Amino acid sequence: MLKKLFTSFRSPLRRAPRPRSTPEVLSSRQHPINRNEISRHAISVVERLQKAGYQAYLVGGCVRDLLLDIDPKDFDVATSATPEQVRAEFRNARVIGRRFKLVHVHFGREIIEVATFRANHPQGEEEENSNQAARHESGRILRDNVYGTLEDDAQRRDFTINALYYDPTQEHILDYARGMHDVRNHLVRLIGDPEQRYLEDPVRMLRAVRFAAKLDFDIEKHSAAPIRRLAPMLRDIPAARLFDEVLKLFLAGYAEYTFDLLLEHDLFAQLFPASGEALKRNPEYTEKLIREALINTDDRIHDGKSVTPAFLFAALLWPALPARVLHLQSKGMPPIPAMQEAAHELITEQCQRIAVPKRFTIPIREIWDMQERLPRRSGKRADLLLENPRFRAGYDFLLLRERAGEDTEGLGDWWTDYQEASDSQRRQMIRDLAGKPEAAGSAPRKRRRSGGKRKRGGESSGE
């Protein structure tokens, strides 16, 4: 108590001075950024804040991407104005966030995100204001609204390549952390002590992987060194936030390389624990199936086609499912109910780590359920399956399983031919199945007991 009392009387002048840095200033002749490549709305936000007497710059990923001749997906602004001051300047703006307060300035569908310069959190004996800053006992930042100077803001950013500030008025770049050096040398490097920065926010480990995959950069060795040891800290991150991060990792066109980096740094099993176990049990098949799904996702994105998280998550989790289905069947549960029960358990467990919304978990289960139904083609079942809205996703997933090495006794080829056949050809294909055992599904099936009449439609009672 006495130490705390004396600390409260200390003059701010007696505190150790914070390190300050002088930026490298690059003129328009020293960098390739062309003002005409930048959103006019982003430029107008910067210029309006500057005319109001505030400092304002384009910052972060948009500057980095422009330097690398990549079209930025959005434009962010950093300013000395507080969120409330920014809001007062723009009628089309609103303040968002609690953990990290920001302002969104709306121009139709385009949103320019404006953040106030941040400073590092108080350290040691300095007191934190819980309304501005808060930390978990592990060091993880819970609230981050400590405002500071431009120099402070540069030093508290995560990676050097994201700490570049572009002034569209003067057309020069301010570089406080040797970010230009790392852009030129294709390096993802943390600013400050890597372990401390990961402890502040473990998601930075995923961001390091994402930027390395997106930009085809290497993670600088000191920044990479602590990741495997600190990877379990991702368990402390809210599941909803991890869902957003996983979409950024896998739905940006470089999912396969991202998967390689996640495996290299022991991060994949932290995101998908059951699939991580499947990789240990059956590495060849599990990796092949996941990789095929990720390659397909990347190809669709590069071709401008739509992708659905449901199909991706179905593939990422599938290798963990068959063993659970077999276990339930060994207890006497029929195949389709066993599939449904195992799917429910697996998805429930996964959602504790990554909060997959219900709008995706339902189609995931339907895609998996289709794997038990596709082998059952006799009578009118094949035509009824073709009319099922999940048939196409289920069929595509069947082909994915076959490419990964599963033996389905030609089931994929049969369904491919059936879709292209005429009505008469389809009837013949169904007749040809008579007397043959149905092809293997996702798990071995017990023989149906003979005798007794089944109710019409009983086979679809699990739908």
Residues with catalytic roles: 74, 76, 158
Q: Which two tokens stand for residue 60?
A: 């972060």
Q: Say if CB 207 and CB 158 are below 8 A apart.
A: yes
DSSP state of 99: S
Q: Say if CB 206 and CB 192 are below 8 A apart.
A: no
Tell me the C-alpha distance between 287 and 281, whole Å.
Answer: 11
Name beta bridge partners: 173.
Answer: 26, 166
| Alpha-helix runs per DSSP H in 282-410 | 283-302, 309-317, 321-330, 335-353, 358-373, 381-387, 391-403
Which of 236-262 are b and which e, b meaning 16 or more Cβ less than 10 Å from the residue's Cβ? ebeeeebbebbeebbbbbbbbbbbbbb
DSSP state of 160: G
Tell me the C-alpha distance between 322 and 364, whole Å.
Answer: 15
Q: Which two tokens stand for residue 88?
A: 């007062």
Tell me the C-alpha distance between 207 and 227, whole Å.
Answer: 12
Tell me the C-alpha distance between 250 and 30, whole Å.
Answer: 35
Tell me the C-alpha distance between 246 and 264, whole Å.
Answer: 17
Instruction: Catalogue the long-range contacts made by 340-346 (C-beta closer than 8 Å, 24 or more residues apart).
Output: 340/365, 340/369, 340/462, 343/368, 343/369, 346/274, 346/317, 346/320, 346/321
Handedness of CA 388, 397, 293, 348 (dihedral sign): positive
